[in-house]
Amino acid sequence: MPFRLSTRGHYAVLIMYELARSGESFSSLQDISASQRLSQRYLEQIVRPLRQAGLVQGKRGFGGGYVLAREASAITVGEIVRAVEGPVVPVECVADGSTPERCPDDCKAKSVWQKVGEAIDNVLDSITLEDLVRDDIEQPASSKGGQFCDK
Amino acid sequence: MPFRLSTRGHYAVLIMYELARSGESFSSLQDISASQRLSQRYLEQIVRPLRQAGLVQGKRGFGGGYVLAREASAITVGEIVRAVEGPVVPVECVADGSTPERCPDDCKAKSVWQKVGEAIDNVLDSITLEDLVRDDIEQPASSKGGQFCDK
DNA sequence: TCTAATCCTATTATTATGGTAGGATTAGTT
DNA sequence: AACTAATCCTACCATAATAATAGGATTAGA
């Protein structure tokens, strides 16, 4: 189906959401993956680009884990997704490095995909981690345990 | 690269664009694929769901081909993409048949993906084939030949 | 020194993508 | 009637991306 987000982007947002809920204290991936059936090993791979992008800070050794590198209000979902998955580019010919030979300037469909990309970025950039956490407070969860999607 | 559209959706729009330009006369896939290096056999597969969705009308035999089943102004890019690729569902848990066990009701990220999906649909549904063709008339192409993207 | 944790680099199974291929059917042309 | 251009239908396949798994190195608190 079109315009799919892979599990990497999906899980990345969920990890960041958990970190935002944990506030200042370091959360281990073991804890984050424990409440769900997600592989800790897989989450390690997903966290790496988040760290490299300066969105989280890792602390090694006993008692280590991750914290948000910034306030939750200063981190958008868009930053998270792009850090893990790269830029939002629905179709090749809209990408930065796309050669004009592969897509002539007068390609009319191009503007459609550009608009789609912008619309996606707009939505993602308009939502911060704080927004996600606040919603959680406003309408308290009826079910205990994790709030992750999918497996 | 998140939120990608596959070549099927991409090519489907380009096919429909060509049919919109051809007006009432039947255009063969051979003609449409000839100006580009797209496989006619592959286009056949892409056109089928368009026909099944009632967007185009096929005519067999010598001199056959395809025409738009409706006016270009009554066909949106969204219809085309969804006919070929299925509904716009960025993440599984937002899909219609998604089981609640796989995604609890209180999943906060869910609302994000729903908003993204709606934003994409809004853009795609706001653009008709006529819009694409009209843009083409307004700024006449400097290059002759096809205006397709990618290979 | 033990252990819990982050880090780093491969490897792998599954799935989706992007086609190709073979043929059947339809219908105009000669 | 034969030929040919086209749509139709079904299956198959090679490659790439996805989604993990795995082995191990490093760090640092207890």
Report whether pLDDT(A66) > 70: yes
CB-contacted nucleotides of strand D (7 Å): 4-11, 17-23, 26-30
Hey, is B65 helix, strand or coil? strand
Query: What's the pLDDT tens digit per position in A125-135?
Result: 999 999 999 87
pLDDT of residue A149: 46
Report whether pLDDT(A122) > 70: yes
Does residue A12 contact residue A81 with C-beta atoms inside 8 Å?
A: yes
Chain B residues close to A120, C-beta within 8 Å:
3, 116, 119-120
Instruction: Choose from A79, A112, A143 for mutation: most chain B CBs within 10 A.
Output: A112
Judge: A10–B91 Cβ closer than 8 Å, yes or no: yes
Tally C-beta pairs within 8 A across A and B. 175
Domain housing A54: 7-88+127-144
Rounded to whole angstroms, how far apart are CA atoms B78 and B67?
18
Query: What's the pLDDT tens digit per position in B76-116?
Result: 999 999 999 999 999 988 887 766 555 666 677 889 999 99
For chain B, the farthest-separated pair of C-alpha atoms sits apart, in whole angstroms, at 58
Residue A151 lies in a domain: no
Lowest mean pLDDT among A29-43, A53-67, A71-85, B114-128: A29-43
Query: What's the pLDDT tens digit per position in B9-44?
Result: 999 999 999 999 999 999 999 999 987 778 999 999
Average pLDDT, chain A: 86
Report whether pLDDT(A139) > 80: no
Closest approach of chain B CAs to the CA of A63, in angstroms? 28
Report the nucleotide nearest the CA of residue A41, measured to C1': D21
- The answer to whether some atom of strand D lies closer than 7 Å to the beta carbon of A41 is yes
Residue B11 lies in a domain: yes
Residue A93 lies in a domain: no
pLDDT tier for residue B140 given thresholds of 50, 70 and 90: very low
Residue B104 lies in a domain: no
The whole-number Å distance from A29's CA to D30's C1' is: 20
The whole-number Å distance from A42's CA to C10's C1' is: 14
Rounded to whole angstroms, how far apart are CA atoms A9 and A78?
10
Judge: A149–B103 Cβ closer than 8 Å, yes or no: yes
Residue A149 lies in a domain: no
pLDDT of residue A15: 95
CA neighbours closer than 13 Å in the CB half-sphere of residue A97: 1
* Beta-strand pair A65-68/B65-68: unpaired
pLDDT of residue B92: 83
| Its pTM surpasses 0.85 | yes
Q: Which two tokens stand for residue B86?
A: 């299925």
- The answer to whether some atom of strand C lies closer than 7 Å to the beta carbon of A60 is yes
Residue A107 lies in a domain: no
Residue B51 lies in a domain: yes
pLDDT of residue A104: 63
More confident: B91 or A96: B91
What's the domain count of chain B?
Answer: 1
Rounded to whole angstroms, how far apart are CA atoms B14 and B8?
10
Rounded to whole angstroms, how far apart are CA atoms B117 and B121?
6
Hey, is A27 helix, strand or coil? strand
Judge: B109–A9 Cβ closer than 8 Å, yes or no: no
Q: What single string gives the DSSP state of each residue in chain B? A: --SBPPHHHHHHHHHHHHHHHHTTS-B-HHHHHHTTT--HHHHHHHHHHHHHTTSEEEE-STT-EEEESS-GGG-BHHHHHHHHH-S--SSGGGSTT--TTTS-TT-SHHHHHHHHHHHHHHHHHT-BHHHHHHHHHHS--SS-S------
- The answer to whether some atom of strand C lies closer than 7 Å to the beta carbon of A64 is yes
pLDDT tier for residue A13 given thresholds of 50, 70 and 90: very high
Rounded to whole angstroms, how far apart are CA atoms B1 and A97?
14
Closest protein CA to C1' of nucleotide D30, residue: A62
Query: What's the pLDDT tens digit per position in A51-65?
Result: 999 999 999 999 999
Residue B112 lies in a domain: no
Q: Rounded to the nearest 10 degrees, how much is the dihedral formed by the CA atoms of A77, A80, A81, A83?
A: 150
Report whether pLDDT(B70) > 80: yes
- The answer to whether some atom of strand D lies closer than 7 Å to the beta carbon of A2 is no
pLDDT of residue A93: 81
Which CATH number belongs to the domain containing residue B84 in this structure? 1.10.10.10
Judge: B89–A1 Cβ closer than 8 Å, yes or no: yes
Chain B residues close to A117, C-beta within 8 Å:
3
pLDDT of residue B39: 93
Torsion over CA: A117, A90, B118, B82 (sign): positive
